[in-house]
Structure 1
Amino acid sequence: MAARAYYEPEANGVERLPTELHMFHSSPLVMRGAHWHAQVEVNYIVRGWAHYRMSGHDVRFNAGDMALFWGGLPHWLDDSSDDLIYAGGHLPLVHFFRLRLPQDVQSKLMQGATLVTKATDASDALNFARWNDYARSGDLMKAGMAVDELLLRIERVRFDPYELMPGPADVVSAVEGLDHHSSPIVVRICDFIADNFREDIDSSDIAAAADIHPKYAMNVFKKSTGMTLNDYVNLMRLSYAQALLMQEDANVLQVAMDSGFGSLSAFNKSFRKIAGMSPTDFRRDVRCRPSVPGVIRAHSSGSVN
């Protein structure tokens, strides 16, 4: 009997490309261990089932389920049916901040909850396949439509029954196989940054919230996520700023202040570093369709979890 194949994080994979939007329609490989990526992940189970160990809870997605969770906390696709096919995408934070979800839902997702809905139908299987095809087409207008339609589909969840896990009656336990010492620290760090990135915070504030020494906080976070604390805070701020800049009445200076930057010069410098252009150019480009913010990568086979 052939040895089972496993997903191995790639040096240039989703784990290292936080500002790119990946879409997929594939039969994924199970993972050797937990991984982390700075995008929100949406899964639609076309066929079969998938079992995840999340940060604090286990969850099984069955055929017809659609799920949304924050990839910035450790998660692990550790088992699946042999016939599993799933579709969806890894959404950069800029798209997550665009979503018109209930405020408490958005906050709970950033703190590690998993949203699951069974209120799907045959049209979802067709739509997820089409969005993946559009993203692979090389046509920017089609790619833009795929993103916009996917976001609208996620927003429609609010009108149907859904569940946020873990629920109030669930027992939250450590996830076997994760680094038991560092994982809770990373969770506390991510929670604090998600709640406070628009404020004037630094590594000392973050470490104090996690009740550890600043140097240790920086080392643990870098080891677990591949990003520095400063880079992660800037990613949160820049993603939030990009979402604001997509609004019709966006003022660059006001966006800089609302996103947590102390000055316009600091905002421009950080924005150019991550987005490759100035905030003004970004605002102009996103208003001239069919441009799509971020790079789209689509996958029809293999696994990107």
Structure 2
Amino acid sequence: MAVRAYYEPAANGVERLPTELQMFHASPLVMRAAHWHAQVEVNFIVRGWANYRMSGHEIRFNAGDMALFWGGRPHYLNDASDDLVYAGGHLPLVHFFRLRLPQNVQAKLMQGATLVTRATDAADALNFARWNDYARSGDPMKAGMAVDELLLRIERVRFDPYDLLPGPVSVASAIEGIDHHSSPIVVRICDFIADNFREDIDSSDIASAADIHPKYAMGVFKKSTGMTLNDYVNLMRLSYAQALLMQEDVNVLQVAMDSGFGSLSAFNKSFRKIAGMSPTDFRRDVRCRPSAPRVMRAHSTGSVN
């Protein structure tokens, strides 16, 4: 029996750019353990099936399914068909909150739900392949078009049947929850955090940048994302630190400082809370894992869930 290859984080670059859209079109490897990243994940199953474990439950996506879920909660691909090909992207929150989706749907996604729609067609397979090519082309205009077209495709989800798992959602009741006032505020907040998360910032700095009162900033962000401002800033910092720890000959203290943490103890505490291990153990675990053959077909060069 052939030995099954597994996804190795050291070979992956998704988490290195937590504020930028990353596209993929791949035959992914099953993962050994959960990971997390500070983006909303979009998956379209081109062929085969994929089984995920996330937020205390498991979900199987089949060919033709399109799904969205918040990558900030630990999740992983724990089983898949041998012929699996999936496409999609890792969408920073600053783009996610520009989407014209019902507000309570956005909030439920941030709190751990997974949106799944089967209302897809052959055009989706072609479009996801093109968006991946455009995003990787090095042409800023093509990359911008990939972002714009992907966002419009996601927005169309609201007009067709979809599920929020675990548990169904009524599209009619979801539409009633739209809040056209808070979403632009959350966008301004996410913009500021994306540009400044490695600096010494707090809720007052964030609120000032969004031109609102700190208590209102904290309330509207919590309502929209299910997270506190501090939790989100920490997640951005930890995603950035995770990428730095994958590099050779890095110093944990320097990673902590470069990622925006004021001390090594604060870094260790936050990292352990999310990753379930210390930064030192994470770095050792990544380096000690044996290399595995990459099974990447279609257009991908390494972006895996």
Regarding TM over 0.5, the answer is yes
Task: Name the residue aligned to 1:121.
Answer: 121
Q: Structure 2 vs 1, CA of residues 56 and 26 (structure 1 numbering), >3 Å: closer, same or farther?
A: same
Taking the TM superposition and a 5 Å limit, the aligned residue runs for 1:4-153 are: 4-10=4-10, 13-153=13-153
| Seq. identity, % | 77
Q: Is the 1:16–1:37 Cα contact (8 Å) retained in structure 2? A: no
Deviations 1:78-121 (A, max 9, x none): 00000000000001111111111100100000000000000000
Unaligned runs of at least 5 residues, structure 1? 170-189, 204-214, 227-297
In the TM superposition, what whole-angstrom CA distance separates every residue of 1:120-144 from its partner, at most 9, and x where no partner exists?
A: 0011011001101111211111110
Contact 1:23 1:88 in 2 (8 A): yes
Q: Contact 1:111–1:191 (CA<8 Å) still a contact in 2?
A: no
Match of 1:288? none
Does the 8 A contact of 1:39 with 1:91 survive in 2? yes
Between the aligned partners of 2:29 and 2:112, the Cα distance in structure 1 is 23
**TM-aligned CA deviation for residue 219 of structure 1:** 4.8
User: For residues 232-281 of structure 1, what are the alpha-carbon distances to aligned partners after superposition, in whole Å with 9 as ceiling and x for unaligned?
Assistant: xxxxxxxxxxxxxxxxxxxxxxxxxxxxxxxxxxxxxxxxxxxxxxxxxx
Q: In the alignment, which residue of structure 2 is the partner of 1:194? A: 225
State the TM-score, normalized to the length of structure 2.
0.60
Do the aligned partners of 1:48 and 1:83 also contact (CA within 8 Å) in 2? Answer: yes
Could you say what secondary structure the match of 2:143 adopts? helix
Secondary structure of the structure 2 residue equivalent to 1:37: coil
Deviation of residue 197 (structure 1)?
Answer: 3.8
SS in 2 for 1:99: coil
> Which deviations, in whole Å up to 9, do the C-alpha atoms of 1:57-85 show, x marking residues without a partner?
11000000000000000101000000000
1:35 deviates by 0.6
Amino acid at match of 1:84: L
Alignment length (residue pairs): 203
Distance in 2 (alpha carbons) for counterparts of 1:33 and 1:154: 28
Tell me the amino acid that sits aligned with residue 223 of structure 1.
R
8 Å Cα contact 2:11/2:302 also seen in 1: no
TM, length-normalised to structure 1: 0.60
Aligned to 1:187: none
Alpha-carbon distance change, 113 to 66 in structure 1, aligned in 2, over 3 angstroms: same
CA 1:217–1:164 in structure 2 vs 1: closer, same or farther (change >3 Å)?
A: farther
Q: Deviations over 1:180-233 (max 9, x none)?
A: xxxxxxxxxx9799346469x999xxxxxxxxxxx999755312546xxxxxxx
2:206 counterpart of 1:157: no
Partner residue of 1:223 out of 248, 272, 275: 272
Q: Quick one: distance in 1 between partners of 2:233 and 2:134?
A: 41
Instruction: State the superposition RMSD in angstroms.
Output: 3.2
CA distance in structure 1 between the aligned counterparts of 2:4 and 2:93, rounded to whole angstroms: 33
> Cα 1:130–1:202, aligned 2, differ >3 Å: closer, same or farther?
closer
| Unaligned 5+ runs, structure 2 | 170-220, 235-263, 276-297
